[in-house]
Amino acid sequence: MKAALWYQKKDIRIEEVPEPQVRDDTVKIQVKWCGICGSDLHEYAAGPIFIPVDHPHPITGEKAPVIMGHEFSGQVVEVGKNVTNVKPGDRVVVEPMDVCGECPACRSGKYNLCSSLGFHGLAGGGGGFSEFTTFPAKFVHKIPDSLSYDKAALVEPMSVALHSLRVGGFQVGQSAVVAGAGPIGLATIECLKAAGARQVIVIQRKSIRQEYAIRSGADAVLDPGVDDVVGQIRELTGGVGADIAFETTGSEQCYRLALDAITFAGTLVVTSIWEGDISYNPNTVVMGEKKVVGSICYCNDFPSTIAMMADGRIPAEGYITKKIYLGDIVKEGFETLTGPEKKSQVKILVTPDRAEL
Ligand SMILES: [Zn+2]
Ligand SMILES: [Zn+2]
């Protein structure tokens, strides 16, 4: 079968590889659509970050070259003898986490904090940029017919956003700030609106992404290059600041603005991954008894996300900006998303089946 393998930075190859075989507890899936994620771009432009190169990953036992792709939907074609939750023909998405099941985090139920955490599509053992992949049945979720295969490829990034609302203790009727209108920022806006936010204010520099933010449901968009962001957020929230903020950019400026823009005893949720240290005065946290909390991946969030996307509460319209064939993934996918056009793209979806295009 055809698959896209990461060999090293700037070296992703389309190759013929053997089809994976089901084991007792795994499911074989024919991939329909797989999204290119920000972390895939980091691996392409500056990797390895999550991809094991020198030592095999402790769970998959594999190292580079690895098949990439972790945001995918597909159809079950075969199941192992112990599998009961899905059957051939089912439409599914995969929660693409390799977890050990034995460490303290796994035992406490917080499997997204597993000390050996890996991702299917980065850690080896297969991935979604291929015709078929196999994965443990417990992480394979059925989707209803009302959720199309292409939209279903967005369940993974949307679950990242939904999880961040839960981690931050978001409550119906709260006002929220979202820093950044990239894929995760837009997903956070959609989840906040679906979950009953009173007001969603987005911090985003001037680009088409400001329009994307409005389309996703933002009530106001402020430009940190032009606007007095903190002052305007206070004004828009009755003088006190927002109840909760979400940092999705990984920029020091946005981190500080988001922290300053929340009210006393408010919460800043950090969803972004950072390339280095930042500095800020912790008195902002101390004097206002503010809370700063990190959020990573998802943990039991897929079923809620699937339900909310299937019935339209999370519309995720206009999210897919381009659809491409697997064989063209480097030029039409990775190069596009790291080149001059990148700001105008949100999600590029990849299919191994030309007939889907
Ligand atoms: Zn991802
Ligand atoms: Zn674990």
Spatial separation of the C-alpha atoms in residues 65 and 226, rounded to whole Å = 45
Q: Which long-range contacts (CB under 8 A, 24 or more apart) does 108-117 make?
A: 109/299, 110/299, 111/299, 112/163, 112/296, 112/297, 112/298, 112/299, 113/296, 113/299, 116/57, 116/58, 116/59, 117/297
Ligand 1 centroid–CA 284 distance in Å is 31
pLDDT at 41 over 90: yes
Q: Identify the band that residue 276 occupies on the pLDDT scale cut at 50, 70 and 90.
A: confident
Are 257 and 125 part of one and the same domain?
Answer: no
Residue 126 alpha carbon to ligand 1 centre in Å: 15
Number of domains in the chain: 2
Tell me which of 132 and 276 has the higher pLDDT.
132
Same domain, 28 and 149: yes
Residues 285 and 219 placed together within one structural domain of the fold: yes
User: From the CA of 105, which ligand is nearest?
Assistant: 2
- Last-in-domain residue among 294, 310, 330: 294
Q: How far is the CA of 37 from the centre of ligand 1 (A)?
A: 5
The predicted-structure confidence for 136-194, as pLDDT tens digits, reads as follows 999 999 999 999 999 999 999 999 999 999 999 999 999 999 999 999 999 999 999 99
Ligand lying closest to the C-alpha of residue 155: 1
Q: Which two tokens stand for residue 141?
A: 């979720």
CATH number at residue 270: 3.40.50.720
- Retrieve residue 3's tokens: 């698959």
Residue 261 lies in a domain: yes
Question: 67, 92 in Cβ contact below 8 A?
Answer: no
The answer as to whether 288 is a domain residue is yes
- 136 within a domain of the structure (yes/no): yes
| 309 in any annotated domain | no
Residue 343's pLDDT band, with cuts at 50, 70 and 90, is confident
Residue 256: both structure tokens together: 């500080």
* Residue numbers of the domain that contains 251: 160-294
Q: What digits encode the pLDDT tens for the residues 186-209?
A: 999 999 999 999 999 999 999 999
Helices (H), the chain: 38-46, 104-107, 149-152, 155-167, 183-194, 208-215, 229-236, 252-261, 283-288, 302-310, 336-338
Tell which residue, 141, 129, 138, has the closest CA to residue 99. 138
